[in-house]
Amino acid sequence: MVFSSITFLYYFLPLCLLCYFLVPARFRNKILLVFSLFFYFYGESKYIIILIFSCILNYYAGQLILKYPKHKKQILIASLLINFGLLFYFKYFNFFITNINHIFQTNLPILQIIMPIGISFFTFQATSYVIDIYKGEIKPAKNLLDFATYLTLFPQLIAGPIVRYETVEQEMNKRTTNPHLIAKGLKRFILGLGKKVLIANLLGSFAEDLSTLVTPTLLSFWLKALAYTFQIYYDFSGYSDMAIGLGFIFGFHFLENFNYPLTAKSITDFWHRWHISLSTWFRDYLYIPLGGNRHGKKKQIRNILIVWLATGLWHGASWNFIIWGLYFGILLLIEKFILQKFLDKHKILGHISTFILILLSFVIFETDSIADIIFFFKGLFDLTKPFTTIETNFYLKNYFIILCIAFIGMGPWLKRLYNKLNNTAIGQKILNILEPISLMILLFIITSFIIDDSYNPFLYFRF
């Protein structure tokens, strides 16, 4: 079940909210657990047992670490092996076998494995819980029901953000909801839904249309790279906005996952702003345990490359994701050891070069094979191609407005204008009247698009 569907918006969510707010507070975790399990079952009925197993495994791993501190390292290792073993089997086993067959000319069988939706997200969330208990940073959940509610919460279950237990520990059994927080959550949810349906989906269609050109042009390749970048950003950040908004409605405060990353002044800055919950997970649970930058430059370079290889693999069992991860790892090393002072001094040049490098990265991200990556990069820099054609101009004209909206929405400018208006008495009065009306109109437009449009994927569900 996806958030941008009629089933979720007008059946599942209203029924969930009705049940949640009708029951006494002590039963609300149970309501969330039941609806979250149904939410997952609706889209992944076959593999819900994996999610339930993860709940049981990691809850009891945490309990055993607390009960048997002398053996906590062995318990931690066992739980990590099982968690990542399942992740490897479902996500990477066939990729591994395929490459073994290719390298050694063997004929090992490829299994018919379907990857459970969101397994990367809930595996990382579960392992962070066990590791934090091992490190003494959190106490285990009071009971299995509370932990299962935390791990299966449908707002962030299948596409993040990765919520650590410490973030919601206090709110699991003691949280408050009020009209202000619910209104804040609904607003955030609707705006995120708009980003997904009205911007990401349309730009996805733009990229598909550009793929059908009879004569690909230099401009069409760059427009396609731009469409990919905006589509991925608005798709994933829109989902995060919806998850955070739903969290507010239920009384949870999830951490922000995006902070206008396409306005970054460097690649380092970009990864401080993009998919923050993932980059901080790798920092805290892989980079720092490997030694971080504490043991000399050579080991720091090794650690950075390991982390970015892992980041690429996390996104998918495919060579394009591995290349994508190492691409960023190498760029970060170049910045850190060569270009950082230059970029700090020339900020405008930093913004422009970073945006271009991000565009190129998402070409790698969205392209299926190495051959396709090479073909696309040739298209981007082949000056023998015509710059544009009537056909390219036709599609650019059709999608020009949505591209302009995407450019405006990628930065904090509208938010700043909103805050300035809201800080004045007259502006606050105007916003109090116009905001709810605008959100209702926006929801109506979104619903119309959902009903009418067959192109409605969530890109990060595959991770």
pLDDT in tens, 251-292: 999 999 999 999 999 999 999 999 999 999 999 999 999 999
Rg for the chain, CA atoms, rounded: 23
Is residue 116 scored above 80 in pLDDT? Answer: yes
What percent of the chain is modeled with pLDDT above 90? 87
Rounded to whole angstroms, how far apart are CA atoms 272 and 265? 11
Q: Phi, psi at residue 79, to the nearest 5°? A: -65, -40
pLDDT in the model for residue 461: 53
pLDDT in the model for residue 15: 97
What type of residue sits at position 367?
T
The length of the chain in residues reads 463
The torsion region of residue 291 among left (phi > 0), alpha (psi -120 to 50) and beta comes to left
How many Cβ atoms sit within 10 Å of the Cβ of residue 170?
Answer: 10
What percent of the chain is modeled with pLDDT above 70? 98
**Is 58 strand, coil or helix?**
helix
Helices (H), 26-109: 28-44, 48-67, 72-87, 93-104
Rounded to whole angstroms, how far apart are CA atoms 217 and 412? 33
pLDDT in the model for residue 219: 97
**Domain layout of the chain by residue ranges:** 6-175, 181-462
Tell me the mean pLDDT in the region 188-202.
96
The DSSP line for 23-36 is S-GGGHHHHHHHHH
CB 247 within 8 A of CB 156: yes
Instruction: Kindly report, residue by residue over 210-231, the tens digit of the pLDDT.
Output: 999 999 999 999 999 999 999 9
Rounded to whole angstroms, how far apart are CA atoms 413 and 263? 11
27-41, 203-217, 396-410, 443-457: least confident range: 443-457
Q: Binning pLDDT at 50, 70 and 90, where does residue 459 land? A: low
Tell me the mean pLDDT in the region 289-317.
94
How many Cβ atoms sit within 10 Å of the Cβ of residue 41?
Answer: 14
Q: Binning pLDDT at 50, 70 and 90, where does residue 462 land? A: low
Q: Binning pLDDT at 50, 70 and 90, where does residue 463 land? A: low
* Catalytic center residues: 315
CB 150 within 8 A of CB 138: no
Rounded to whole angstroms, how far apart are CA atoms 316 and 29? 32
Q: Binning pLDDT at 50, 70 and 90, where does residue 344 land? A: confident
Average pLDDT, the chain: 93
pLDDT in the model for residue 457: 59
pLDDT in the model for residue 100: 95
**Is 463 strand, coil or helix?**
coil
pLDDT in the model for residue 455: 58
- Longest pairwise C-alpha distance within the chain: 74
Q: Binning pLDDT at 50, 70 and 90, where does residue 364 land? A: very high
Is residue 249 scored above 70 in pLDDT? Answer: yes
Is residue 458 scored above 70 in pLDDT? Answer: no
Instruction: Kindly report, residue by residue over 402-430, the tens digit of the pLDDT.
Output: 999 999 999 999 999 999 999 999 999 99
Tell me the mean pLDDT in the region 335-360.
92
